Structures are given as C-alpha cells and as structure tokens.
Structure 1
Amino acid sequence: MKIAYITAGAAGMFCGSCLNDNTLVTALCALGHDALLIPTYTPIRTDEMSQSLDRVFFGGINVYLQQKSRFFRWTPSFFDRLLDAPFLLRWVSRFASSTKAEDLGDLTISMLKGKHGYQVKEALKLAAWLKKEIKPDVIHLTNALLSGMADILSNEVGTPVVCSLQGDDIFLNALPEHFRTKAIDLISTNSSLVNRYVASSYFYADSMASYLKIPREKIGVIQPGINIKYHLAGSNAQKAGNVLGYFARICPEKGFHNLVNAWIALRLKNQNLKVKFKASGWLGESNKQYYLEQYNKIKDANLLEDFEHCESPDLQSKIRFFDGIDLLCVPTEYLEPKGLYVLEAWAQNVPVLQPNHASFPELLNKAGGGGWLYAPGNQQELIEKLEFAFSSSLLLKQQALLGHNAVIDYFNSSRMAEETLSFYHRMLSGDKV
C-alpha cells in the first residue's frame, strides 16, 4: 500500500506529533509498505532517523507572503521553490519558533478555506505532485488544521483522505475567540470532505468529536506505540532510587510549575527522602521567562544542588536522561492526547505518576499498572503520591516492570502500524471504523 503522510513542521522544535508520525511511517515501511512523510510549512525535526521527504510543500515563507500580498499568489513555481528551500526554511524557523498562535488567526482561516483560501496554489501543487510522483492509495493529513486541502487532494488525486486528531485543540484554544469560532466551524464543514479520522485515545476521540463538531462515528482509535529498539539498550541501567524526572516541553500547559511546586513541598515535608529532580524537554524562546520563574523558586528553596536541567536532547541523550531517573511525572494541565513520554519511560524501566485525565488512565489501564494516577489539580495528592512512590524502591521496580512489559507486548510501533493498516483497509472497503 502507498500512503502519503502530510505533516506540519514545528519550526525547528521537537514535536510529539511529528515524532509519532515519523515512527509510524518507519514502522509501515518495515512492514513492506510504501509510506512517505511529506512536511509542510517547515522541515520536521525528529530524534530518530527521519523518514521525511527532503522537500517542503506549503513552505512557511510562501504561505505567509501569499496571505499578505496578492502578488505572491500568482508567482511561478520556480520562484516558489526557491523560497521553499529546506535550508532557508530551517534558518527562518529559528525566528518563527517564538510566533504565537494568536498572531496566526487570519492565516489559519485561509488555510482551512482550502480552494477558497489564499494558499490554493500550494494545494494544487501538492496534489499535482502526489498524482504524478506518488499515486498514493491513502492520503493522511496529520492534523485537522490541514483539512482545508482535503477537497483539492481528494478530487485531484482521486484518493481517500484520512485525518489525525492530535493537539489541534491546544492551538485553537490560543486563538482569539472570533478566529477560534470560525476555525472550528470550517473544520466541522471540512469533515464532510475527510473519509475518516483517527485519534490516539478514546478520551480524545470523544473530546474532539464534540469540540470540532465532527461525527464521532467517523473517528477510529489507534493507541500510540514507540520504536522500542532505541530504548531497550538503556532499560537495564542501574537506578539511583531517588531521582524524579520531567520530560516534556517546558511550558505551563505541560505543568512544569506543578511539579516544581510539588517537589519543593515534598523536600520540605520529608527531608529524609532526599529526592532529586531532573528536567528536560524543548524550551522555546517564548517560555524562557516561565522557566526562569520556576528556577528561581528552586533557588529560593535552597535546592539548586539537587536540581538539574538538561538541554532538549537528541536520541542518545534522551536515553541517558531516562536511565538517570526513577520516576517520571508530567503533571499536565493540557488534556494530553498521546503521552509518548509515558511509553518512553516504560521502555526504560521507569514508572510514571500522572494526572487521572485525558489519555493517561487508558495507558495505565491497558498496561495493568506502570505507575500511579492522582486527581488532576490536587497538589496535595500529587505530593502524597510522590512521597509514597519514593518510599520504596521495590514499589518503583514493580510498577516499572509492568510498564516495560506493556511496551514490549503492546505499545510498540509494529502493533501501531498493523492497526493503522487495518484501519485503512476497513475504510477502503467501506466498513465502519
């Protein structure tokens, strides 16, 4: 089967959706299928071997200029290709990563309008290339914000369109209200042009069906998986027994401040535990002041000696990070659709402590353990669960083993790819999701 994955680059950032897309395409290719990851806006950044095309469609510079000026909506293809050069887009990405969603309202609406938007030329170029060079059996858009192109791609290429639901809401919620309402209405309208949707948890499928006004019966659920071969080498590392870890984008919605506050409170409450704290993950320019505020809390508590911040790591340093922690906690306020960091922790024998919301209960229920859940927003319970977890190295090891076995047996990329193929075959045969 030939599958074209259209994904949105994240302006040079590590992005969970991009990582998941790359992992899935890798696994599909390993099963003998012809899957290709096609970036839009900017080149994607992954910490594993990239499967993406060395060409960018809907290049961020062209898309922006077409939004701002009628002139650029009619420029010839050779000129557009110059502005779509990956090296140029990577350079521009260094400045674009600080762009806020609230500044992209007009562009978001135009993209969702598809053939009636200012970027219609870009959609037609992509469709022509797919039809001539790839001839896919399935076109898979990796977020609903790309759904404006579904009509053009379906009609021009003659191929059904699938769309992933993964994190669209966090971007939409950051838009000013009038843009958000219009964008949701357009996504809902575009749902008639999309053959099927896929979400990574039942929670998220239900939530996004309501939020985006998409028929729930069009949404299938395929739980995430990771490429375990990268993590297994580090899964036998000796653990110190007293290191708390945070591995996610360092930002308010991922709840980094919640863990800082809980760790400080735990150290003040029980000085015998001597729990240390290591944090890593993407730290964008727009969140550096936020991080500094959390750092100063730790400094004021005289705990800097027991805190370590690691720069956003490559694959090997990520593996070393998980080798060096005993419990992962990412106390999100955002309702996480996937939680890939939970699977990565499990792969390296690290249990987790997560809020009892979004995808986390589904992950732990499927694993039969792998850590603990606490009531979302209940800081006192978070502190108590941290104290409980670190009170016994045996408890940590028992839960780590349950999570580790779940990744080996189920939460792996091969199973995810096989379920995705089955999902495509059901769609192509007209069966329900």
Structure 2
Amino acid sequence: MKVTFLTAGTGSYHCGACMRDNALVTALHRDGHEVALLPMYLPMMLDEEVLPQVRGAPIFFGGINVFLQQKFSLFRHTPRWFDRMLNGTRLLRSAAKRSHMTSPRAQGEMSLAMLRVEESQLTKELERLIEWLQGHEKPQLICLSNALLCGLIRELKRRLDLPVMVFFQGEDGFLDGLPEPFREQCWAEMKSRLAEADLLVAPSRFYAGVMAERLGMADDRFEVLPNGINLEGYGPASREGPPAIGFLARMSREKGVGVLVEAFIALRKTGRHDDCQLRIGGSCTKGDEAFVTALKKKIAAAGLSAEVHWHPNLTREEKEEFLRGLSILSVPVT
C-alpha cells in the first residue's frame, strides 16, 4: 500500500510526534509498504535514522512562506525558486528558534487559516502540495500527524479521491491557549473538518474521550493506538545509585514539569525519601527558558538544587543513558 504521512516539524527541538511518525513509517516500510514522510512548516528534528526516501523530502507550507503569504499579497505571487529558497533547512531552523516571539494573535490567525486553507491566503502552498502528491507520491492513503492539519482533508479528498486518517496529539491545550475569537473559531472549524475524515486515531482511551466531548463526536468515531517508538538501544534500568524520579519531555508548562517539581518538593518535605533525586530531561527551547529559570529558583528556595539534575536537549545516546538511571519515569499523558 502507498501511504503518505504529513508531519508538522519543529525545526529546533526533538519532537515526540515526529519520532513516532518516523518509527511508524520505518515499520510500515519494513512490512513491505511504500511510505513517504513529508514535513510541514519546519524541518523535523529526529535523534534516529530515517529512510533514504524520507531524508530528501521537500518541506510543504514552509513556516516563512506561510507567514509572508498570510501577511503580504506580494508573496502569494512569487516564483517557485524564491519559495524554495525560503524553505531552506538552515533558514527555517533559524526561524524556528525565534518562534516563541510569535504573538498569540498571530498564532490564532495562522491556525485558523490552516483550518480553512482553501479559503485562506495560502492556496499557493495548497496547490504545491496537491501537485506533488498527484505527480510524485500518488498515495492510496494520507495520514495527518495531528488534528491541526485537518483543514487539508476536504481538498485532499476532493482532488485526490483517497481516504484520510488523522492522529491526535494534545491539540486541546494548544487551541485553549489561543486568544478569542480564534479559540472558538478554531474549535468550531476543527469539528467541521474532522467530520470529513475517514479515521480518527487517539493515543489513549482517555484522550479519545476528551476530544470526543470537546468536538461533540461519538466515542466510536475514535480508534485508539498508543504511541510507539524505536526501542533499539534501550536497556533495563541500572540498580546503582540513589532512587531517581525522571521526566523526559519538553520542559514546558504544558507538559506538566512544573507539577512534578511541586510534587518532588512535597515528597522531600515528608522526610521519608531524603536520598531521592529528580532528573529532568528533554527539549528546552528559547521560549521555555524563563519558565525553567523560575522552576530552578523554586527548587533553590526549597534547598534542593543539588538533588535536581537538568539534562536539556539530549542526544539519542544520552537519552538511553538517562533512562537507564531512573527508578520511575513521570510521563505527560494525552
């Protein structure tokens, strides 16, 4: 079967959804399927090998092009060679490092534009994607890595006449963080667009229930497929050293690391686990630094700085070693 994944890249930090998609694509390829993985917005940041046919894939709806086309009519008519230049990997990675400077209003405008893509100022990017799929990939199935891409469903089905499946990955937190009127408009548009999907996939039964309620959909519209990763290199935990609680995700408020820090401080105050450590690993972007600094101050005020260890932006090998040193891992759940 020919399957194409459209995956939103992050550009400047490791992304769990990208790693899940890469692992899934690799497994499907190993099972004999013809699979493509096309990055959207920004390059993907992976800590593992990708298939050769994936490595050279172009970026669609490149972040710089999308921003300029949404804001200025001139860029809706620029030639393809100019657009390709703005989609350069180095340029997009540089832009991604400044993404935290984007205003909430601009995020709301862009999110709504992508959910109404065929009615937006981004039709040039939509045409480029459709042309590529028609001329190069010719897939039998399209997979969208998150529900914020569901604005593509209508045109993909109309123009390519194929089924579209959508994965969910914590969209409620992002949408709820948008200012009005964009929050309400985006929720309403997502509900309308997802009704046209052929399959909706949630990473857990809990999150399927959350999104079914928020979108006013029946529970049986959702299938549950837990996220998977490539397990190569991961071994059993070491039993040496003091007990250690671990966190491995983006160091952001949304991922709950602040709650874990509060819990660790409360645990140490009981006096029953004086040798326990907290080890925090994962991506830390420019936009996360102020939040992390505030957490470090809170830990210092509790007199626990020596017991909390920070491991930002781990490599694959460092991640494997980090996990082996934990007694228990706290996981942000959707």
Q: Please give the range of the TM-score, normalised by the shorter of the 2 chains.
A: over 0.9
* Counterpart for residue 194 of structure 1: 197
**Aligned-residue offset at 1:155:** 2.2
CA distance in structure 1 between the aligned counterparts of 2:144 and 2:329, rounded to whole angstroms: 31
Mapped pair 1:270 → 2:271: yes
- For 2:208, give the aligned amino acid: A
* Counterpart for residue 146 of structure 1: 149
Paired residues of 1:162 and 1:194 also in contact (CA < 8 A): yes
Mapped pair 1:280 → 2:281: yes
* Counterpart for residue 32 of structure 2: 32
> Which deviates more, 122-131 or 213-222?
213-222
Q: How big is each residue's C-alpha offset from its partner over 1:303-341, in whole Å with a ceiling of 9 and x where there is no partner?
A: 2222211122011100110111211224x5xxx32xxxx
* Counterpart for residue 397 of structure 1: none
Structure 1: unaligned runs, 5 residues or longer: 338-433
> Which deviates more, 262-271 or 29-38?
262-271
CA distance in structure 2 between the aligned counterparts of 1:228 and 1:257, rounded to whole angstroms: 28
* Counterpart for residue 297 of structure 1: 298
Q: How big is each residue's C-alpha offset from its partner over 1:73-107, in whole Å with a ceiling of 9 and x where there is no partner?
A: 12222221121122221222121255355531111
Q: What does residue range 116-195 of structure 1 map to in structure 2 within 5 Å? A: 116-195=119-198
CA distance in structure 2 between the aligned counterparts of 1:306 and 1:114, rounded to whole angstroms: 49
Paired residues of 1:3 and 1:140 also in contact (CA < 8 A): yes
Paired residues of 2:242 and 2:277 also in contact (CA < 8 A): no
CA distance in structure 2 between the aligned counterparts of 1:117 and 1:98, rounded to whole angstroms: 23
Paired residues of 1:39 and 1:53 also in contact (CA < 8 A): no
**Aligned-residue offset at 1:177:** 2.7
**Aligned-residue offset at 1:298:** 2.1
CA distance in structure 2 between the aligned counterparts of 1:309 and 1:236, rounded to whole angstroms: 19
Structure 2: unaligned runs, 5 residues or longer: none
* Counterpart for residue 77 of structure 2: 74
Paired residues of 2:246 and 2:326 also in contact (CA < 8 A): yes
Q: How big is each residue's C-alpha offset from its partner over 1:36-61, in whole Å with a ceiling of 9 and x where there is no partner?
A: 11001000112222344531010011
2:98 aligns to what SS in structure 1?
helix
Q: What does residue range 54-69 of structure 1 map to in structure 2 within 5 Å? A: 54=56, 55-69=58-72
The number of residue pairs the alignment matches comes to 331
2:181 aligns to what SS in structure 1?
helix
Q: 1:35 to 1:230 in 2, by over 3 A?
A: farther
Q: 1:110 to 1:325 in 2, by over 3 A?
A: same
1:154 aligns to what SS in structure 2?
helix
Q: What does residue range 7-406 of structure 1 map to in structure 2 within 5 Å? A: 7-51=7-51, 52-54=54-56, 55-99=58-102, 101-231=104-234, 234-235=235-236, 237-270=238-271, 273-330=274-331, 332=332, 336-337=333-334
CA distance in structure 1 between the aligned counterparts of 2:55 and 2:273, rounded to whole angstroms: 53
- For 1:23, give the aligned amino acid: A
User: TM-score, normalized by length of structure 1?
Assistant: 0.72
1:28 aligns to what SS in structure 2?
helix
Q: How big is each residue's C-alpha offset from its partner over 1:235-267, in whole Å with a ceiling of 9 and x where there is no partner?
A: 263432412222222122222222222222322
**Aligned-residue offset at 1:134:** 0.9
**Aligned-residue offset at 1:271:** 5.7
Paired residues of 2:2 and 2:140 also in contact (CA < 8 A): yes
List structure 1 segments (4+ residues) > 4 angstroms apart after TM superposition. Answer: none
CA distance in structure 2 between the aligned counterparts of 1:146 and 1:241, rounded to whole angstroms: 44
Paired residues of 2:204 and 2:224 also in contact (CA < 8 A): yes
Paired residues of 2:267 and 2:273 also in contact (CA < 8 A): no
Paired residues of 2:237 and 2:323 also in contact (CA < 8 A): no
Paired residues of 1:39 and 1:56 also in contact (CA < 8 A): yes
**Aligned-residue offset at 1:118:** 1.0
**Aligned-residue offset at 1:214:** 4.1
Paired residues of 1:38 and 1:53 also in contact (CA < 8 A): no
1:78 aligns to what SS in structure 2?
helix
**Aligned-residue offset at 1:272:** 5.9
- For 1:109, give the aligned amino acid: L
CA distance in structure 2 between the aligned counterparts of 1:252 and 1:109, rounded to whole angstroms: 24
Paired residues of 1:36 and 1:53 also in contact (CA < 8 A): no
Q: 1:188 to 1:53 in 2, by over 3 A?
A: farther
- C-alpha RMSD of the superposition: 1.9
> Which deviates more, 212-221 or 274-283?
212-221
CA distance in structure 1 between the aligned counterparts of 2:262 and 2:237, rounded to whole angstroms: 31
1:104 aligns to what SS in structure 2?
helix
CA distance in structure 1 between the aligned counterparts of 2:139 and 2:307, rounded to whole angstroms: 53
**Aligned-residue offset at 1:109:** 1.1
- For 1:104, give the aligned amino acid: Q
